[in-house]
Amino acid sequence: MRILGIDPGLATTGWAVVDFNDNNDPEVVDFGCISTKKGLSVSTRLLEIYQDMEELIAKFEPDLAGVETLIFYNNAKTAMSVGEARGVIRLALEKNNIPIKEFTPLQVKSAVTGYGKADKKQVQENIKVLCSLENIPKPDDAADAIAIAIASSR
């Protein structure tokens, strides 16, 4: 099964494509980030995220997508922009008939480390081990997307 993990954001959306064999062992196919420029209008940035998601879906043909949920932000403006990014991501997935699983950060951490309150370093080290990678994936948003893909496989 091929899973597209997505860590949504307006400035940076992390993504990762992970294949899982019959034993549910993860193999990272590719990962990266969709970055939008701060000076552009929100609408232009959302369009860029949508178009890039369409390209990722066409290129990698995932069977399923995992998307991190919006839970709480101290800054309402940040919450709104992440929510809008999630909306265009979900639209691209729905348009392409990709089933979506959603996870809170706590659920993702628990799936990868067994502990929902694990710190970022623990999550990254576990991703490295679980996926037999030489290095911790960078940037952090892409590493988070790998963790979301792993959570989606469970």
* Distances, alpha carbon 110 to alpha carbons 58, 68, 138, in Å: 30, 13, 21
Which of the following is catalytic: 48, 52, 68, 144? 68
Q: Please tell me which residue in 48, 52, 141, 144 is annotated as part of the active site.
A: 141
Residue type, 81: S
- How far is residue 18's CA from residue 149's CA, in Å, rounded to a whole number? 6
Q: Are 88 and 34 in contact (CB under 8 A)?
A: no
Question: Is there a catalytic annotation at residue 30?
Answer: no
Told to judge if 141 belongs to the known catalytic residues of this protein, a careful annotator would answer yes
Closest by alpha carbon to 15, among 141, 119, 154, 103? 141
94 assigned to active site: no
- Catalytic one among 7, 48, 52, 144? 7
* CB 18, CB 3: distance < 8 Å: yes
Q: Active-site positions?
A: 7, 68, 141
